[in-house]
Amino acid sequence: MILRKLKLVNFRNYKSFNINFQKNINIIVGDNAQGKTNILESIYTLALTKSYRTTNDSNLIRLNQEKFIITGETKDEKIFKKLSLELYKGNKIAKINDNVINKISNYVGNLYVILSSPDDLQMIKGSPSERRNFLNIEISQLSSNYIKKYNEFNKILKMRNDYLKLLFTNSLCDVNYLDILTNNLIDREVEIYIERNNFIEKINENITNIYKDITGINNLKIIYETNIEIEKFDKDHIKKVLENKYKKNQQREIAMGMTLYGPHRDDFTFEIDNNDIKIFGSQGQQKLAFIALKFSEIPIFEEITNTKPIILLDDIFSELDKKKKNKLIQYIDKDYQVIITSNDTKDISKKILKDANILKIHDGKIVEKGGENNGRK
C-alpha cells in the first residue's frame, strides 16, 4: 500500500500543510527542529490513532489552537481510501471515506506503517513496559482479536486487583467471585501469550540474518520472557500453568493486593550468543538491533495483511558509518514506499537519490522539491 497524499491542519508545527508522496523512496530533509519527525509522527498517528512520542494527545495540537486534523489518501492495489483523524476537545474522531468509525478496532488496520525512530532505543534501554508497549502496538496492527482480548484483559485485571485489595481488608468477601474473575482473566491471558509468542517467533525467523548482513555479527535473537513457566505455547498447557499459579499464590496475591502473574509482567531481551545487549552491547549495536527488529517486521506484516506496509525511517542514518548506511539502504527494496527523514542526503547513494522524491522542509513548510532528475525531466 502507499500513502499518496497527506494533509495536516494544526498538527504540531504545521498550520496548513499538503504533501504528496511517491510510491518508492521519499526523503524529507531539513535542519533540526523544522518538522521532519512531525510528518512521520502524523502518519503514524493517522494509522494508529495514537502517537508514539506523547501520551498526551493535546500536545499534538498546534500551540494556541483547539483541534488538529490529519487526512491521508491511500492506495492499495486499485482501492483508494481517505482516512482522517481529528482531535477536538479531547475527542478523537476517526473517519474512513468521510464515515465516522466508532470502534478503534475497525479503524486501525487501514494504514499499515512500520516506524523506526531514535525513540526505539528505549525499547532496549527502557523498562519492560516499553517493550510490552511495543508488542501491543505491533500485534494490534496485525490482529483485531489481540486488541479485543488485550482491552478485556486490562479491564478484568483492574477488577481483579481491586477485588484482591477488598479481600485483604474484608475477610467476609466471597472468594468464589475471585475465582470467576481469575477464570475470565486466564481466558484472555492465554490468547495474549500465544499471540505475543507467535509474533516473536516470526521476528526471530528474520532478525538474525538481517543483523548479520548489516553488522557482520551473528546470532542476534529475541528472547520472550514470561513470569510463568511455559513449556509449550499451547492453550491448554498455558491455562493449566496459570490456574496452578493463581491457586498456589492466592494468599500472596491477596496480601499484596495485586495480580502477580500474567502477561502484564512480560518482557523480552535482545541477545547475542545468550548475552543481553542491553548490558553487553555498544550504543551502535543497540541502535542497529532495533532497526533490524523493525526490518524483520516487514515480511510479517506483508504475510498477514496481504499488502506492503509503509516504512517510516526517522533519522536512522545519524551516527552510522557510510558502509552501514549503505547496508541499510540495501534493505529498502524498491517495491516499498519508504519515507525517510535526514538532515542531509550526503551519504545516501546516487543510485537511490536518482529516483527519490526529495522534499526539503523549513519551519513547517516545503521549501524545495525534487531529486537529481528534478527540472531535467
Ligand X SMILES: Nc1ncnc2c1ncn2[C@@H]1O[C@H](COP(=O)(O)OP(=O)(O)O)[C@@H](O)[C@H]1O
Q: Does residue 296 touch ligand X according to CB under 6 A?
A: no
**Closest CB to ligand X among 33 and 255?**
33
CA dihedral 83, 367, 68, 141 (to 10 degrees): 40
Q: Does residue 143 touch ligand X according to CB under 6 A?
A: no
Applying CB under 6 A, which of residues 6, 35, 270, 308 lies at the interface with ligand X? Answer: 35
**Closest CB to Mg ion among 30 and 262?**
30
- Classify 83 as helix, strand or coil: strand
Amino acid in position 213:
D
Indicate the DSSP class of residue 34. Answer: S
Please identify, among the stretches 54-62, 199-207, 208-216, 234-242, the one whose residues bind ligand X according to the rule CB under 6 A.
54-62
Which residues between 18 and 47 bind Mg ion (CB under 5 A)? Answer: 36-37
* Angstrom distance (rounded) from CA 234 to CA 289: 29
**Closest CB to Mg ion among 36 and 294?**
36
- Nearest one of 372, 376, 335, 339 to 355, comparing CA atoms: 372
Q: Cell triple for residue 225?
A: 520472557
* Angstrom distance (rounded) from CA 371 to CA 66: 37
Min dist CB 120 to ligand X, Å, is 15
**Closest CB to ligand X among 30 and 263?**
30
Applying CB under 6 A, which of residues 3, 8, 12, 208 lies at the interface with ligand X? Answer: 12
Applying CB under 6 A, which of residues 1, 8, 38, 87 lies at the interface with ligand X? Answer: 38
**Closest CB to Mg ion among 297 and 315?**
315
What is the torsional sign of CA 84, 341, 308, 371? positive
- Nearest one of 267, 254, 262, 268 to 154, comparing CA atoms: 262
Please identify, among the stretches 60-68, 71-79, 209-217, 255-263, the one whose residues bind ligand X according to the rule CB under 6 A.
60-68
Among ligand X, Mg ion, none, what binds residue 296 when CB lies within 5 to 8 Å by partner kind?
Answer: none
Contact call for residues 19 and 359 (beta carbons, < 8 A) = yes
* Angstrom distance (rounded) from CA 336 to CA 299: 11
Min dist CB 68 to ligand X, Å, is 9
Residues of this chain that interact with ligand X (CB under 6 A) are 12-13, 30, 32-38, 59, 61-63
